């Protein structure tokens, strides 16, 4: 329970400086209460009312925009300025005009984000495959609803779904749109909520509708035989892996590999890329290719340019003479996003609860929901027809003695008494009497009477048929099937994304290994690395370093050797020396944090050649502990460049020493107390983040400041500092063991 604590007079805060004597009070509240009262409602609102799509395939922002356009008459009318649509939608969506227009852009035909666009657009709406192609302002573009939207609103006026007040209670809006097809699988959706996300890929409309029809006939149908793979608006090709596709269909999670489509133009010795994966952009591909060309890894390319125009996407690559286009594209597929992965996460709100569902489960939920919509629509139609029948039945009673009805009306002195007198004279209710009283004089004839009598018979048959439909689930499914067949007929389109079977994929071309030759590695304390060949080293003079920088690590290696770089963020980066250009002593070298893409403010603390990953590495910490980790712990089987939790984060790191063979080491504290011990006293561990063992006993307030191999120190009287067991206190370092020369007076 929250309690109030009054501030001391010396720290008095005033809410308003103009109000004298009013003191602010601090409210102390447990963090659990803060999360429950403040954070949880926010998280729930983002999940339920913003980021996660529902069974109709729409998020609230999509639904509000489309419904507003429907109410504006844009389903059958002409286009209007997008600014008008955005302004009108703000009566339903209070999140601002920019957010509304962004939503509209994504739903538009011009942007090409959707296989089945819902907005028929005119003007520049940008492109989903371009990062830099900005869409025009809403005052310049025009839009209306696409014809397929008739399938979204077909039953909206027949009580098929619930209507709720908008945010200020002045209008009503639908909770869901009664889509006549499983739009949740046709329209791609990406949403990031609080603690969860959703990423649904798109499928071909015709395939989804046929799969739904077959599912209603047989719930155990093999969906992969009908819906082979997702279909994306940007085309490209799906690399068909049956196991990966089945995992997505069954669990709603998994990944699907996509690749670009390209053609070789012999006349110009160039490659044209005209379709790319849905998950990337043209600029992202070009930036990566430029980076690889600059690094000397794509020597086959002389130029690359974006030739996208009104006819569509086109990235052109000029090849150097003698280049094999297939081999080059295989390399580009491997090193750029021309081959990419779509990570699926079919997270959908079902009755207000987020659930990750497979394709079969989504079809089950959609079918159950659509059956309920049909039932509600049918019940609404029955109610309307019964009301009409009720009126005609009253008319039928009067038409049996029309002369009596005319006499009652003629003999009634006051107009307000006509309806009550008809009710009394024929035993009908007020609604029936009102209907009869409103009949025009010219309609009192035999033809009108016979036609109304026939209408009564037809209504009775229709009501009986609708009630039979309402009671039979199979008849309702038949209605859904007919509607799906009509959707296929009106809006079905061929697949845009091709299918390439994974076992038919050519084997990836093996990268030519970089030339291997002896090099000497120099790394400065500032993080600059130089790789110098033996010839350059013999011809060079003194090593150049940045002002304030100094040498740190130096060792001999080969060009193809691996390099482990430890940082002050408890991370280890893996690379090869071949990734660095050969340098000279007169150069500063490559700045390692930039070269390896380290985090902002992350610095190098040590670098080493792991060799064959035999041996171990020792980490020394300020608290006097040393952790010995086997090098095998850093030998990952994958091509990961960064390993987190590379060493313990419990105390600041002082030094890192590779241990190929056990040897004696020396550590020194900030009070000059030094300890010499054998590395065999510290057992190697396979866990990288081990805290290690206490090596030197430190006095309160003291810390370890240096560690080195004994052979690299100037200690002469080794026995003075040697400890046979750990931890040990060591001894104060004498001047003769520091390597410093004493000054004498002549």
What positions carry a catalytic annotation? 140
- Our CA angle for 523, 526, 532, nearest 5°, is 25
Is the distance from CB of 574 to CB of 643 less than 8 angstroms?
yes
Pick the closest to residue 524 from 593, 582, 618 (CA basis).
593
Instruction: Report which DSSP code applies to 531.
Output: E
Secondary structure (3-state) at 534: helix
Assign 3-class secondary structure to 651-692: CCEEEEEEECCCCEEEEEECCCEEEEEEHHHCCCECCCCCCC
Percent helix, strand, coil in the chain, to 5, is 35, 25, 40
Pick the closest to residue 25 from 40, 9, 13 (CA basis).
13
Is the distance from CB of 528 to CB of 590 less than 8 angstroms?
yes
Residue with tokens 């610095």: 603
Strand partners, 190: 199
Residue with tokens 């008494």: 417
Is the distance from CB of 233 to CB of 128 less than 8 angstroms?
yes
Residues in Cβ contact with 602 at an 8 Å cutoff, skipping those fewer than 6 apart: 567, 568, 569, 571, 593
Residues in Cβ contact with 507 at an 8 Å cutoff, skipping those fewer than 6 apart: none
Is the distance from CB of 696 to CB of 624 less than 8 angstroms?
yes
Q: In what order do the strands lie in the sheet with 261-265?
A: 261-265, 270-275, 315-319, 301-306
Tokens of 21: 């004597």
Is the distance from CB of 50 to CB of 99 less than 8 angstroms?
no
Is the distance from CB of 692 to CB of 655 less than 8 angstroms?
no
Whether residue 563 is preceded by a cis peptide bond, meaning omega within 30 degrees of 0, is no
Residues in Cβ contact with 34 at an 8 Å cutoff, skipping those fewer than 6 apart: none
Strand partners, 197: 192
Beta strand ranges found along 412-550 (DSSP E): 498-501, 518-524, 528-533
Assign 3-class secondary structure to 546-610: CCCCCEEEEEEEECCCEEEEEECCCCEEEEEHHHCCECCCCCCCEEHHHHCCCCCCCCEEEEECC
Tokens of 281: 């952009």
For β-strands 562-567 and 551-558, DSSP reports them as unpaired
Query: Could you give the dihedral angle defined by the CA atoms of residues 92, 98, 104 and 107, in that order, rounded to the nearest 10 degrees?
Result: -120
Instruction: Report which DSSP code applies to 26.
Output: E
Q: What kind and span of H or E run contains 718?
A: helix 718-721
d(CA 678, CA 545): 35
Q: How far is CA 93 from CA 25, 68, 360, in A?
A: 37, 10, 33
């Amino acid at each position: 329970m929250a309690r109030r604590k009054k501030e001391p007079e010396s720290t008095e805060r005033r809410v308003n400086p103009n109000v004298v004597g009013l003191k602010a009070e601090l409210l102390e509240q447990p963090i659990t209460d803060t999360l429950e009262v403040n954070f949880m409602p926010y998280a729930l609102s983002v999940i339920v009312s913003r980021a996660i799509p529902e069974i109709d395939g729409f998020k609230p922002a999509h639904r509000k925009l489309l419904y507003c356009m429907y109410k504006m008459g844009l389903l059958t009318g002409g286009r209007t300025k997008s600014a008008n649509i955005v302004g009108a939608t703000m009566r339903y969506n209070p999140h601002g005009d920019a957010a509304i227009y962004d939503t509209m852009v994504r739903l538009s035909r011009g942007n090409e984000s959707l296989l089945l666009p819902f907005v028929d657009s005119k003007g520049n709406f940008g492109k989903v495959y371009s990062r830099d192609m900005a869409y025009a302002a809403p005052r310049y573009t025009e839009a209306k609803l696409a014809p397929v939207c008739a399938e979204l609103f077909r039953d909206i006026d027949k009580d098929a779904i619930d209507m709720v007040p908008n945010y200020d209670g002045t209008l009503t809006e639908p909770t869901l749109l009664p889509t006549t097809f499983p739009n949740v699988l046709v329209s791609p959706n990406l949403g990031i909520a609080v603690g969860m996300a959703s990423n649904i890929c798109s499928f071909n409309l015709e395939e989804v509708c046929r799969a739904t029809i077959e599912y209603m006939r047989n719930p155990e149908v093999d969906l992969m035989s009908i819906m082979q793979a997702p279909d994306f608006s940007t085309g490209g090709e799906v690399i068909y892996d049956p196991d990966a596709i089945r995992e997505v269909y069954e669990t709603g999670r998994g990944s699907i590999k996509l690749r670009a489509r390209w053609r070789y133009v012999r006349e110009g010795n160039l490659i044209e890329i005209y379709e790319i994966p849905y998950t990337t952009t043209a600029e992202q591909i070009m930036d990566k290719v430029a980076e690889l060309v600059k690094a000397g890894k794509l020597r086959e390319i002389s130029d690359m340019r974006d030739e996208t125009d009104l006819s569509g996407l086109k990235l052109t690559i000029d090849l150097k003479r003698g280049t094999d286009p297939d081999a080059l594209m295989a390399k580009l597929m491997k090193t750029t996003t021309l081959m990419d992965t779509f990570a699926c996460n079919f997270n959908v709100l079902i009755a207000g609860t987020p659930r990750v569902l497979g394709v079969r489960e989504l079809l089950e939920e959609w079918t159950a929901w659509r059956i309920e919509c049909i039932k509600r629509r049918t019940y609404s139609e029955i109610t309307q027809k019964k009301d009409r029948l009720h009126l005609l039945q009253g008319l039928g009673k009067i038409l049996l003695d029309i002369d009596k009805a005319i006499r009652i009306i003629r003999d009634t002195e006051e107009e307000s008494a006509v309806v009550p007198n008809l009710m009394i004279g024929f035993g009908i209710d007020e609604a029936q009497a009102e209907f009869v009283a409103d009949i025009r004089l010219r309609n009192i004839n035999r033809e009108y009477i016979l036609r109304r009598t026939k209408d009564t018979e037809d209504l009775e048959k229709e009501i009986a048929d609708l009630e039979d439909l309402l009671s039979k689930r199979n008849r309702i499914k038949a209605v859904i099937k007919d509607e799906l067949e009509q959707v296929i007929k009106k809006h079905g389109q061929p697949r845009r994304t091709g299918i390439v079977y994974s076992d038919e994929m050519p084997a990836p071309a093996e990268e030519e290994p970089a030339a291997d030759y002896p090099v000497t590695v120099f790394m400065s304390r500032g993080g600059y690395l130089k790789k110098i060949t033996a010839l350059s080293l013999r011809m060079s003079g003194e090593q150049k370093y940045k002002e304030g920088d100094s040498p740190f690590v130096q060792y001999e290696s080969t060009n193809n050797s691996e390099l482990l770089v430890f940082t002050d963020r408890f991370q280890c980066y893996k690379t090869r020396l071949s990734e660095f250009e050969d340098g000279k002593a007169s150069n500063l070298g490559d700045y390692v944090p930039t070269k390896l893409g380290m985090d902002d403010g992350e610095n190098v603390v040590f670098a080493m050649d792991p060799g064959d990953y035999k041996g171990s590495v020792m980490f020394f910490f300020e608290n006097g502990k040393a952790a010995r980790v086997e090098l095998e712990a850093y030998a990952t089987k994958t091509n990961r460049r960064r390993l987190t939790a590379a060493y313990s984060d419990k105390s600041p790191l002082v030094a890192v020493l590779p241990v190929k063979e056990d040897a004696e080491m020396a550590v020194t504290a900030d009070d000059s107390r030094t300890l010499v011990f054998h590395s065999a006293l510290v057992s190697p561990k396979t866990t990288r983040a081990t805290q290690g063992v206490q090596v030197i006993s430190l006095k309160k307030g003291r810390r370890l400041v240096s560690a080195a191999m004994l052979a690299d120190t100037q200690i002469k009287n080794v026995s003075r500092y040697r400890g046979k067991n750990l931890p040990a206190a060591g001894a104060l370092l004498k001047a003769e063991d520091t390597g410093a020369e004493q000054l004498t007076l002549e």
